[in-house]
């Protein structure tokens, strides 16, 4: 199990312990957005199948938004991201991106921008220093 899945599960269980899911243990799912887009593009999986668990789970970790190449920034994948975020309204979603909030509407689309900001808490970590040797992720 990689670290991002461990983090997502830890965050979901922490929220659950505080009473957000009083009658069940939350379901957790992680999506690495560039990998999902590549699998759909390669026809390894349909977009509907790729998004099913992400839409239905209690807590979603949506990773590497903004790391994708230009072909993922328009068309079907932007519509899919907007749909995913819209269908997850009132559910816990942790989205990780290197794109600052002020650039979201220009990088993705106003639909995605709107869904990110509506009823959300945004933690802008761009000013936090990196403690890795060469500035890369630890």
Arithmetic mean of pLDDT over the chain: 75
Which residue has better confidence, 64 or 121? 64
* Domain hosting residue 112, numbered range: 27-117
Report residue 38's pLDDT band, with 50, 70 and 90 as the boundaries: confident
CATH of the domain at 43: 3.40.50.300
Report residue 138's pLDDT band, with 50, 70 and 90 as the boundaries: very low
| Spatial distance between the Cα atoms of 107 and 4, rounded to a whole number of angstroms | 24
The answer on pLDDT for 137 being more than 70 is: no
Does a structural domain hold residue 31?
A: yes
| Spatial distance between the Cα atoms of 125 and 97, rounded to a whole number of angstroms | 10
Mean pLDDT of 4-12: 62
Does a structural domain hold residue 81?
A: yes
| Spatial distance between the Cα atoms of 106 and 126, rounded to a whole number of angstroms | 18
Give residue 12's pLDDT.
Answer: 62
Domain count, the chain: 1
| Spatial distance between the Cα atoms of 138 and 136, rounded to a whole number of angstroms | 6
Count CB neighbours of 63 within 10 A: 22
Q: Retrieve residue 51's tokens.
A: 């998004």
| Spatial distance between the Cα atoms of 28 and 12, rounded to a whole number of angstroms | 7
Does a structural domain hold residue 13?
A: no
Give residue 92's pLDDT.
Answer: 84
| Spatial distance between the Cα atoms of 100 and 87, rounded to a whole number of angstroms | 23
| Spatial distance between the Cα atoms of 37 and 71, rounded to a whole number of angstroms | 9
Give residue 1's pLDDT.
Answer: 57
Owner of token pair 């994708």: 68
């Amino acid at each position: 199990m990689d670290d991002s899945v461990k983090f997502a599960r830890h965050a979901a269980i922490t929220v659950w312990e505080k009473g957000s899911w009083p009658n069940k243990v939350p379901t957790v799912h992680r999506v690495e957005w560039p990998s999902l887009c590549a699998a759909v593009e390669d026809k390894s999986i349909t977009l509907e199948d790729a998004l099913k668990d992400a839409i239905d789970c209690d807590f979603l970790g949506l990773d590497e938004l903004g790391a994708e190449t230009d072909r993922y920034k328009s068309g079907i994948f932007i519509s899919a991201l907007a749909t995913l975020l819209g269908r997850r309204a009132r559910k816990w979603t942790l989205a990780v991106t290197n794109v600052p909030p002020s650039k979201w509407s220009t990088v993705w689309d106003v639909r995605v921008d709107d869904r990110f900001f509506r009823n959300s808490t945004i933690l802008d970590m761009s000013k936090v220093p990196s403690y890795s040797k060469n500035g890369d992720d630890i």
